[in-house]
Structure 1
Amino acid sequence: MQAPPLTPSSDVPAPSVANGAADDGPGPIRRCIATGETLEREAMIRYVVGPDGTLVPDLKAILPGRGFWTCARRDAIERAVTRKIFAKAAARAGHEGPLTVPDGLADRIEAMLARRCMDILGLARRAGEVTAGFDKIESQSRKGPPGLLLGASDGAADGKRKLRSISAAAMHSEILTSAELSLALGRENVIHAAFKPGRLAEQFLGEARRLAGFRLLVAANGPELPRAGAQAE
């Protein structure tokens, strides 16, 4: 479950990043430099400082150098930018000199995460691990439950309810738009898709959960939709 958005009150001190959970120490837990929350690495974004002194989001957490982390949420990143927490964390990580933070950092990370979701979806298409189209998904589900149901975030509410009715047990995600689903799957007007159970479905869900921290999933004329990873009702 995602933490509630941060309040912008100026009397909340920036958390220290001296704790070992804040950087690249051993173990799966990291501390957010903006909020102080401790979460598993998979729910966070890692950063390093590039050779030119520019802050670099390291979504795969593989770039060399001592890194620091934020929650995978827009509000946490924007707080780190406005309060210059990135610069302080970079200095503690050993960077000397000014730090250049790219403009629109949260938007850039959102686009990068969306691209990762689309790349996984494209890989699943080439591997025959994903089905598109409601009728095909419904037919396939009779042979076994899907690993993950996908609905376009900008699709009609009735269509989303119809998709969820296919399997009460399947996880579902409504994080990508129809245009993004269509581009990833190489066809037009994709509204519904489904992964087969397996590694690619799990990888997509992990990235979708991070992307959900940047996208408010609200239907055009309806209530807030379940976030990525929510259990279908």
Structure 2
Amino acid sequence: MNRFVHRRRLPAFRPHRLALLIALISSPVLAAEFQVGEIQGRANAKLSLGALWSAEDANKAMIYPQNAQAIGQTFDPNGVGRNSDDRRLNYRNAGTLISTPLTFLGEMDLKWQNYGVFTRAKTWYDYRLNHDEVSWGSAANGYDHGARLDDSHYDDLAKFQGAELLDAYVYGDFQLGESALQLRGGNQSVNWGESLFFLNGINSINPVDTAALRRPGSEVKEALVPVPMLYTA
């Protein structure tokens, strides 16, 4: 018997493709329902690992010449961006690993009769931003060339690692004639769709955690910041 083996040449490695692949590696690690007496419970958890690389070399026209000279970087004499070229100088080469966030998102829903309590929390850790040195620096670390970035003065949600309680509210389900009614009170996010960047829309009721939104592998519910409110539907 003759066998024909077809060998296909694999495409060349592209860091940004791998970054996209890793960003999509996020799946539920726990999904369980349980009951204790009259209390019914549901728990969900997701562990997400993401990575971000530079897809191409920094545009020299967007780097300020004196900044480039300070670290021996070639530059365009007509370059601009004196106050906005930090990331280009820190991660100026294609394939440079920028960020490696590991994120855990957990939810718990406890229900007794027609009342319930819902909580959601997240924690994250970015090894790359916490430990690796960068060539240029930033205002936060005093532009210490070759040192690690410093997030000590950042807002808690923008730090390279942290934990945050998100939604925490009580609710009740009621029947009004033939209509169902739910009342909720506490810290919560009300998602009116995923149109995050349309200004002055109804979705503006929730602040947006842009640091979370930019982490590879993140979901919209990780980026919506809950606020105290009463809600009915």
What's the TM-score once normalised by structure 1's chain length? Answer: 0.26
The structure whose RCO (Cα within 8 Å, separation 6+) is larger is 1
What's the TM-score once normalised by structure 2's chain length? Answer: 0.26
Which is richer in strand? 2
Which is richer in helix? 1
